[in-house]
With several copies, the nearest count.
Chain A
Amino acid sequence: MHNQSLKLGVDLNGLTLHNPITVASGTFGFGREYSEYIDLNQIGAISVKGLTLEPRSGNEGIRIVETSMGMLNSVGLQNPGVHAFIKKEIPFLRQYQTKIIANINGNNIEEYCEMAQILSNEDVDSLELNISCPNVKNGGLAFGTNPEVVKEVVSKVRKHAKKHLIVKLSPNVTDIKAIAKIVEEEGADCIALINTLSGMAIDIYKRKPVLNRISGGLSGPAVKPVALRMVYEVAQTVKIPVLGMGGISNTTDAVEFLLAGATALAIGTANFANPKVTAEILNGIETYMRTYQYDDINQLIGDLR
């Protein structure tokens, strides 16, 4: 039934996916756990858990707060480090036809560059420069919200990245278009957005912020309207393709992002509620395409009237 004459492949400016549905970094581990619930071959690409040069134990204390149709997380980039990823996780993921996107995170610009360098020689399909993580002290959000720093980090990493390079933006900015333009100018192949919105919760019984680091990253359906607006704005602004995400949970959401101009989509938080959501959305998109008589997904992308 799948693919029956429908063309679903997309090209993110050098990174080709057999369908536009990817999973968002940090929500899908390295694919192992979800492989017991869903055929990973059905997923266009997997952006793996955010990697750092050295292993990280992540943040202490409570790491999650459920909010109204959303969640705050404060994982703090717990990961086994880039070398363990290369050794243990790439071979696992290569069993599947899904593309591998390595999400990279540095404490400073040099670390970003070093990781880009290392991974350029490894069997991954794309590097996703995460300059937008709100949950670590150094780097992350600070990089992603200051236009000058964005310029510097992207231009330097570009020199070391011999692979397809995605830059993932923070939504916690006044003007996402300006940041996107800089990222395009500095040579990124693709822009991913949005990372999480910075948010907070207080435990009224303990009278303390729930999260040790006070604020965390908001994701899930709650943020979708903001994400869609930013994806639309960026798609209107840059020529490089956009990998859209933020609260996508069902077919309607997915089609909205495609119509807004995203060439591919990432599903994050929605996997937690429904481990098969990626396949269901792909199916739903195909039905939509049949109903509205698109035979190539690329016709649908940005097709607002």
Chain B
Amino acid sequence: MKFQGLVRIISKKEINNEVFTLCVERPKAIESIKAGQFFNIKTSAYGSPMLRRPISVSSYDEDSIEFTIKVIGDGTKQLHQYEVNEKIDIMGPLGNGFEYSNEQEILVIGGGIGIAPVKGLLEVLKRENPNIKVTTILGFKDEPYLEETFKALSDTLKIVSETDSRYQKGFVTEPLKTIIGKPFQMTYACGPTPMLKAITPVLNAAEMPVQLLMEEKMACGIGACLVCTCKIKEGDFGYKHQRMCKDGPMFYGSEVIFDA
């Protein structure tokens, strides 16, 4: 049996006026977690919104699971109203998560709140191999956040912003251009779909393997309802629809078809 139930909130931290973290007690029933996996969280006990909200693990250890959440609409607003010691209904861990195996040199790319699971990944990789060489590119629309955290987790860190003039202006594709072709064993990326769509052909062309952590609206979150899809090259129909929640949310850049 997998876990679904109430867990206690251990701590809550405001990162900026839109982003916050919730750290919850890790239930004994959850034997293993992988970076890039997510939980489907019930945001309200009163029905509305009806559906759970998928939130990635941004950090975990034996006793706790951390979520880093950006307030977007009602669901995330409700999550923001929870206080320490209240209980929250989570379900997971869900999805495949990142595949990592002893890489020595990696590139990670995070965009916006997509940096949350990337942070979780880097923490694990550093824990397992303190000597791993990490190049990180982060892109933000406005003012960057968690900069210090990523500094500590990266050997090289480049940050771009669309509006904050203290940083390089533009999208992650700019710094990416300058390092494309370097001998990274793996690239890990998470961010808004337009970002993933922009970087994937660049990395594919350079034959750099990339794991994309993707996003789609979900309902069940476990692969039963088929409302979340990722279009994948090859398969019965010249393509096939895989389930973002169950077969993903990680797909390799080489296999994804980005439609308009």
Contact = CB atoms under 8 A, between A and B. Distances in A.
A127 to B, nearest CB: 21
Contact of A49 (B226, B231, B240): B226
A85 to B, nearest CB: 14
A64 B240 contact: no
A68 B48 contact: yes
B233 interface: no
Contacts of A55: 236
B217 A62 contact: yes
A66 B225 CA distance: 14
Contacts, number: 98
* Interface residue SS majority, chain A: loop
B47 A64 contact: no
Interface stretch (B20-28, B49-57, B172-180, B199-207): B49-57
A26 interface: yes
A57 B89 CA distance: 33
A251 interface: no
Interface residues of B, number: 33
Contacts of B48: 68-69
Interface in B173-218: 217-218
Interface string A69-98: 111010100100000000000000000000
Contact of A34 (B224, B231, B240): B224
B222 interface: yes
Nearest to A222: B50
Contacts of B223: 29, 33
Interface string B221-239: 1111111110100011101
* Interface residue SS majority, chain B: loop
B95 to A, nearest CB: 12
Interface string A32-60: 11101100000000000100000101101
Contacts of B226: 26, 29, 49, 58, 63, 75, 78
A64 B229 CA distance: 10
B31 interface: no
A63 B229 CA distance: 8
Given A36-B2, A58-B229, A28 B224 contact: yes
A73 B52 CA distance: 16
A276 B228 CA distance: 21
A221 B129 CA distance: 49
Interface in A1-44: 26-29, 32-34, 36-37
Contacts of A27: 220, 224-225
B148 interface: no
Contact of A275 (B47, B91, B218): B91
B227 A64 contact: yes
Chain A: number of interface residues, binned into ranges: 35 or more
Contacts of A58: 226, 229, 241
Contacts of A64: 217-219, 227-228
B72 interface: no
B4 interface: yes
A26 B237 CA distance: 21
Interface stretch (A102-110, A255-263, A265-273): A265-273
Given A64-B228, A75-B225, A275-B91, A269 B50 contact: yes
B246 interface: yes
A61 interface: yes
A273 B50 contact: yes
B169 to A, nearest CB: 24
A83 B91 CA distance: 33
B42 interface: yes
A36 B52 CA distance: 18
B227 A61 contact: no
Given A66-B50, A272-B225, 7 more contacts: A27-B224, A34-B224, A36-B222, A60-B231, A66-B51, A70-B50, A78-B241
6 closest cross-chain pairs (CB), A and B: A29-B224, A64-B227, A33-B224, A57-B237, A33-B222, A36-B2
